[in-house]
Structure 1
C-alpha cells in the first residue's frame, strides 16, 4: 500500500486536528526563523493528505496560495519526503528526475529544495518541514542541521495536539471505568467477608486472586487519574514542588504494567528530591521515555533506572541494553521531554535539542537531558533536574 494512502498515517494526521486549521504563531515562528537564518524566500510546515497538501505555516508563497494554504498533490514536492520517510535535499530541481516535471518547479519557480520529514513518535510521517529557493543552491551540513532542529520543534508542537487527544481519551476511559470497578470491588468485599465467616478455604483460594487483582486495578486507576488531569485543575498546581522519587516510582510502575516482558529495576535513594514543576507532566514524559526504551531493549535484558542526588541536582539515569535508537526518534524523545519536566528558567535558557552522530553512535542533548545510543549496546538517558533549594523546601513541603 502506498505510504500516502496508509490509513494509520491518515488517522494520525486527522487526530492532530491541524488540517484546515488557521495559522498559529507557534508554527509561524518556526518558518520565520527558517526563512531568516537560512536566507530563503520560502519556508513551509506542510501536512500531506491523501489527495492534497496543506500548509500549516508558510512564508513566501504568492497569492492565492498564501491565502488558500493548500495545493493538489500534483504540485507537491513534500509528498516525496512522506513517501520515503527521509530528508530530501535538492540543489536544482530542474535537473532532478523526480521533480523537473513538477508544476511547482515551472509555475512557482521552486528550484532548490530541502525537506525534513515530520515523523511522530508512532513512526507516522505526516508531512515535511521544508525550505525552498528560486535559485540553484548547495545546502551546507550546518543548514540541514538547523532545518532538522526546527523540524524537531515542529513535530513537538504537533505531538502536543496528539497528547491532548490522548489525555481526553484517558479521561473518557476513566469515567467509564470508575463506576463498574467500584461496584465490583464492593461485591468482592461482601463476598470476602462471607468467606471469612464460612471459613471455606477452597472458595477463598479461588476468590482471593480476584480481590488482589481488583486492588491492583484500583491503584492503576488512581495513577491514570494523575496522568489525565481534570479540566478544572488549578493551573497554579503546575508550578508547585514535588518529590521526584514519587514521580519516577509511579512512571516505573505504570511502564512495568504496560510492558511486563521487560523487567524494570529501580534504584532510588531514600532522602526526598524535590523539584519545581508539573508532576503529572513529568510522569507522562518519564512514562513515554520508559516505554520507548523498552521497545528497543532486547527481551533478555532489564531496564535499569537509577535516581540519586548529584551536586545539588537530581540525577536520573535510564539504561536500556539492546538495539540503538535512530537519531530522528532520539531527537523527538528529547524534545518532548524538554517541554515537560520543570519550570526552571535556567534550563529554558540553555536552548533546544542538539544532535551529534558518529560511527554507530548517536548522542542527543537537550536542556537537562543527554541520550547516548550505541549500535549493539543500547541507549542511556541521563536526566539532571535542579532541586528546590533547602531554604524553600520547608515552605513548599505541602504543595505536592
Structure 2
C-alpha cells in the first residue's frame, strides 16, 4: 500500500461524511466503550486497548485503557504515532509481532512514546461499509498473537461496531422525532394560514406554473449547453489531429526546402528556371509558416494564465484564416498600437474569442467586405476592436446576442463557441466585451482585457 493509496483512503469524502454522521468525534468517554476495552485488556492480557476513529488529520480516541500520559488525556494521536491508519481491509486484522523490526513500523515514534511493540487490531466497518476507525490491543513487548486471541478481538470488535450502530440508530431516531415534531408544528401553522389566506392559493399556482416554465427553459438550456460543448470537444479532437498531421507534413517539407535552397546556392539556372525555383522556395517557406501557426494554435495550454502577446496571437489567427478570407473576398485592415503591453491570460481561450469574432465578421460579409482590427492601450487595459462592414445586427437582437446560446444561425458553425461563451471567457479574465451595430452598416465588437490582475 503506497502513501498515495493511504491518503486517498483517509481523505475519502464519503468516508469522512459517514464518520461525521455517527457523531462520535470529540464526544465524551462512554462506559460501554470503556467496558469493552477493559474486557479486551483482561482476556487478551495486553496492557493497552483502544477504540479509535480515523479523522482527516488525526486519530481520535473514543476509549483508551492503559495508554500513557499525556496521550490518554489528550484523547487523540497524530498520524505519525498511528498504527491504526494502516488497518483498512474489512474483516482482516492487522497483526504486528514486533514493530521494532517491522519494515513499515520500525521508525514509528509510537514505539518510543507509547511503548507500542506488538499490535492486533480490526477495522470498525460501519455506515454503508465505510471503515471509520479501529478496535485494537497493544503490548509493550514482542508477542505472537494466537488464533484464539485474534478471534476474541474480532468478537469484541463486532461488539464495538454494534455499540456504534446502536448510537447511530438512536441519533437518527431522535432526529426523525425532532423533524416529525417540527413538521407537526409546521402543519398546524399551515392549517391556520390556509384558513386565512385562500387567495394565496391562486398566487401559489401561478408561481408553480412559472417555476415549471423556468425548469423547462433551464432544461432546454442545459441540453443546448451539452450540445455546444460536445461540438467543442469534437473540434478540439479535430484540432489535435490537424496539429499531428501538420507535424508529419513539416518533416518532408523541411527536407524539400533544404534541397531547393541548396540548388539555389550551387546550381546555375536560366532566368526562367531561377524564377520558378525562387517561387518554389517562397511557397515552401509560406507553407512551413502555415504549419507552424497551425501547430501553435492547437498546442494544448496548461490552463494557467501566462504572459501573452495580443498582436502575435491575432497575427497567427490571420495566417490561418488567410486562405478562407481570400476565398470569401474579405480584405483586412490592421491598426495596431505602437506600444502594446503583454497581458496575463490563458492564450488558447483568448485566441478562441478572437477567432470566433473574426469568423462572425466574415459570416456577416457574404458578398465580401473589409474587416478592420484596431488595438490600443488604455490605462491598465488593452483594447481589441474587430469591425466589419457587413449586414449588421437588428437592434432587438443586439440586446440578446450575449445571452446563453442565443444564435441567429440554424445550427452550430465555426468554433462552436457562441458569443455567450466568448462573453464568459472574457468575464473570467476580468475583462469586458461590447458590441455596436447598425443594420446594413456592419458591427464592431470591442474586447477590453486587463494587463494584469
Larger radius of gyration: 2
In proportion to residue count, which structure has more strand? Answer: 1
Which protein has greater RCO, CA pairs closer than 8 Å, 6+ apart? 1
In proportion to residue count, which structure has more helix? Answer: 2
TM-score by length of 2: 0.44
TM-score by length of 1: 0.50
